[in-house]
Amino acid sequence: MTGHEPFVDIHCHLLPGLDDGASSLDDALAMAAMAVADGVGTIIATPHQLGKNAGNSGQSIRAAAERLQRELDRRRLPLKVLPGADVRIEPDLPGKICRGEVVTLADRRRHVLLELPHDVYLPLDRLLADLSSGGVVGILSHPERNVGILNQPKVLPPLIERGCLLQITAGSLTGVFGARIQRFAESLVADGLVHFVASDAHSVGNRSPILSAAFRRVAGLAGDEAARELCCRNPAHVAAGRPVPSGRRSAGQPRRLGGFRRVFALEASKVGTI
């Protein structure tokens, strides 16, 4: 693996005191330092919004991101923090985005990070169409950890055909959430169905802001170019408000063919291929 651009993390619970992520400024600074040491240059801070976190207003998130950026600058920690949200799907989401109540990624009204309930899959066709008519693209966060999708993975390709983008969690690829989720995440990457890898970090502990291990895993599964695309380039497009190539990525060049591919085929058959 040769060098790569800085990582850009589009899903990270970095802002202190807004949700179940960083609970204090010190926590947030420790997470930021860990991310910088791992090669992360930009984090889109995504506290939960709507659902149980209805108290997180757009205004409070934007202000918290600015406050944290000032603290990072004061300490000369070279990290850019942009506002965003991990948004629970609710009625009138497009209206809430339009009115600025829900924060899109990097606050650019181009991409919104969508969070499904953990246990079920809800059809997203109507929501994606409504968002699209307002010029907003939905990014579905960690589909590999949704029980409904794990049991019915064939729902994903039609979503991608409709322009939905998929973000998987870095820890899923390194086994943090167990073997079944790891195998599913690997199969999605190998099949070209993933557009982003993000940390979904909540602390410096088990769910930390480390992306390098997942980057290496993607390179092993789909090639170095795919790793750069999922961990650096596509997320950088989001941070800049630029469009991200949608649809299925054509097969990359995995670094380890043969043995791994055979294992993958066996494992994929256990979780159900898509």
Using the rule CB under 5 A, which residue among 200, 211, 218, 249 binds Fe ion?
Answer: 200
Spell out, one character per residue from 81 to 100, where the chain touches Fe ion: x when CB under 5 A holds, - when not: -----x--------------
DSSP letter (8 states) at residue 106: G
H helices of the chain, in order, are 25-38, 58-74, 93-98, 125-133, 147-151, 156-161, 170-173, 179-190, 212-222, 224-228, 234-240, 259-271
Q: Give dist(CA 264, CA 71) in Å, integer.
A: 45
Using the minimum distance from each CB to Fe ion, give the nearer residue, 145 or 228.
145
- CA angle, 15 then 21 then 23, to 5°: 75
Using the minimum distance from each CB to Fe ion, give the nearer residue, 200 or 229.
200
Identify the residue whose tokens are 């240059």: 41
Smallest gap from Cβ 11 to Fe ion, in A, equals 6
Smallest gap from Cβ 176 to Fe ion, in A, equals 13
Q: Does residue 144 touch Fe ion according to CB under 5 A?
A: no
* Helix H or strand E segment including 12: strand 7-12
Q: Does residue 191 touch Fe ion according to CB under 5 A?
A: no
Q: Give dist(CA 181, CA 177) in Å, integer.
A: 6
Q: Give dist(CA 113, CA 181) in Å, integer.
A: 20
Using the minimum distance from each CB to Fe ion, give the nearer residue, 201 or 226.
201
Taking CB atoms, the residue at the shortest distance from Fe ion is 86
Q: Does residue 19 touch Fe ion according to CB under 5 A?
A: no
Q: Does residue 224 touch Fe ion according to CB under 5 A?
A: no
Single-letter amino acid code for the residue at 241: G
Selected range binding Fe ion among 31-39, 69-77, 194-202, 233-241, rule: CB under 5 A:
194-202
Using the minimum distance from each CB to Fe ion, give the nearer residue, 86 or 229.
86
Interface positions with Fe ion (CB under 5 A): 86, 200
